[in-house]
Amino acid sequence: MSALPSKGPGGQRPPAPRDATLSSLAPTSTSPSSFSAWLGVVLVVVLFSGGLFGYDQGVISGALTGIKSSFALSPLIVEVVTSWVTLGALLGALAAGEIADRIGRKRTVLIAGALFTLGAAVQAFAPDTAILVAGRLIIGAGVGVAAVAAPLYAAELSPAAWRGRFVSAYQLAITIGIFLAYLVDGWLSSNESWRVMLGAAAIPGLLLFVVGLLAPESPRWLMKMSRRPTAIIELKKVSPKVDIEAELDSIDLALSRESSGATWGEVLRPEWRRPLMVGLGLAIFQQVTGINAIIYYADQIFGAAGFATEVSRTTVTTWSIGGVNVLATLIAIAFIDHWGRRNLLLTGLIGMTASLLVVGAAFRFIAPAAPGAAAAVAGPSVAGLVTLVGLVAFIISFAFSLGPVVWTVINEIFPGRIRGRAVAVCTAVNWGSAFLVSQFFLSLVDGIGSSSTFLLFALLSVIGWVWVYVCVPETKGQTLEQIQLIWKKKAA
């Protein structure tokens, strides 16, 4: 699709000249504009998408017992029921990039809402395993599509000065979703309740669809599609105080400087290799430092650390992992646009390394039972309590750094023409890494022991720190168009 602006009515200005200077990309929206009701709609879309992502990712562990007693499941099918959400998410994320570039960010969010509703309903009413698995795949696709569309939507519609907070609100919603899933798992443990647990996502899914219908389209995508008159209308809604023409000219100039043809090949072009490396590296380090080993297996880790009763394990998992995760994400929302992405990442990785070292050391003093084994002792030992403190410190450190910042940076570093596809690749790699870590965590514990497994995560956090220090640029407060200049300057 051509990058030229529309020739339609509306008195729009002619396209920015190709030889315009880079200073034409001067900030037009770096100072906070007023918070319009339309930005509220954008925020609701982001919150519902993230919340459904977190809920659907977290709820299955509590639903499995009931599912197993309703259908006679072989171990293989149990694994399929559990993990095909990840498979669906991977495929959904890859497809969403193309869809978001072709039909727009808003309609992609609508597709996510429809998939969430459909998938939740199919699972809730599944008469047999085959239909249940189909429902898992559909909901997985919804998670993947939302994981690409919602932060992309937030990044493109929020004013530059608030962008970090908007994308972090998406992460906040993921953590609230995980927390709610832990709570629901604790409340509804009787057999047939699994249908309610899985089906409950249909209501917010439907609400996401309805709010999505009202939501504005991304002016950046509209400009990419040469629809300037509509872009003017949509930009006025979310940023009524900015100089609309200047802002659109700046977007237009950035688009005109990019070569045409948004193909997959273009995502891999040498000029975009650096942002792609930054995006992929962040996506991988977010997962290989162990977050989902802890989110998925917290219950078992606490069991091995001496929390003997199910009630004590559920309570400590829900509040010390789920609750703390939500609260600590608020730190990122408060600081990401002032303190910057790099500072949060570097500080968080130091906290993650230190806490993983503490957990690794504590496990040296805990009887060498695998996290999967039942605890033999009646209560947590000192080493068990130290493990608890270490894990809480890890969750806090992750929640104000790698959790929100990775999604923020991935969604702001790519040029408009390839943004959808490039974000999709990074998101799919993030899901792939999550899948591998959660798949191999227990085998790793079996093979090298709990202590060494956490020390390995600590080592990867140190490598992550060095990599962030060297490779990740600061992007706070800059418009998406200015950020693209970072790569051009580096290449020069």
Near ligand BGC by CB under 6 A: residue from 174, 200, 222, 333: 174
Near ligand BGC by CB under 6 A: residue from 325, 387, 475, 482: 325
DSSP letters of 115-155? HHHHHHHHHHT-SSHHHHHHHHHHHHHHHHHHHHHHHHHHH
Handedness of CA 200, 203, 209, 211 (dihedral sign): negative
Near ligand BGC by CB under 6 A: residue from 60, 139, 253, 295: 295
> Under a CB-based contact definition with an 8 Å cutoff, are residues 31 and 479 in contact?
no
Burial 356-378 (b: 16+ CB within 10 A, else e): bbbbbbbbeebeebebeeebeee
Phi/psi of residue 309, nearest 5 degrees? -90, 155
**Is 83 near ligand BGC (CB under 6 A)?**
no
Smallest separation (angstroms) from ligand BGC to the CB of 292: 5
Smallest separation (angstroms) from ligand BGC to the CB of 175: 5
Identify which of residues 32 and 323 has a Cβ nearer to ligand BGC in the complex: 323
Near ligand BGC by CB under 6 A: residue from 6, 12, 171, 250: 171
- Segment lying near ligand BGC (by CB under 6 A), choices 87-95, 291-299, 383-391, 481-489: 291-299
Identify which of residues 314 and 430 has a Cβ nearer to ligand BGC in the complex: 430
Interacting residues of 338 by C-beta distance below 8 A, sequence separation 6+ = 476
Torsion of CA 27, 32, 34, 36, to 10 degrees: 80
Q: How far apart are CA 11 and CA 328, in angstroms?
A: 48
Identify which of residues 254 and 301 has a Cβ nearer to ligand BGC in the complex: 301
Q: Which residue is nearest to ligand BGC (CB)?
A: 403
Phi/psi of residue 193, nearest 5 degrees? -65, -15
Near ligand BGC by CB under 6 A: residue from 169, 386, 434, 460: 434
Binding map of ligand BGC across residues 389-428, x = CB under 6 A, - = no contact: --------------x-------------------------
**Is 292 near ligand BGC (CB under 6 A)?**
yes
Identify which of residues 254 and 328 has a Cβ nearer to ligand BGC in the complex: 328
Within 10 angstroms of residue 439's Cβ, the number of other Cβ atoms is 13
**Is 433 near ligand BGC (CB under 6 A)?**
no
Smallest separation (angstroms) from ligand BGC to the CB of 286: 6
Identify which of residues 179 and 465 has a Cβ nearer to ligand BGC in the complex: 179
Smallest separation (angstroms) from ligand BGC to the CB of 195: 24
Within 10 angstroms of residue 270's Cβ, the number of other Cβ atoms is 7
Which amino acid type is present at position 485? Answer: L
Q: How far apart are CA 396 and CA 209, in angstroms?
A: 32
Q: List residues binding ligand BGC (CB under 6 A).
A: 171, 174-175, 178, 286, 291-292, 295, 325, 403, 430, 434
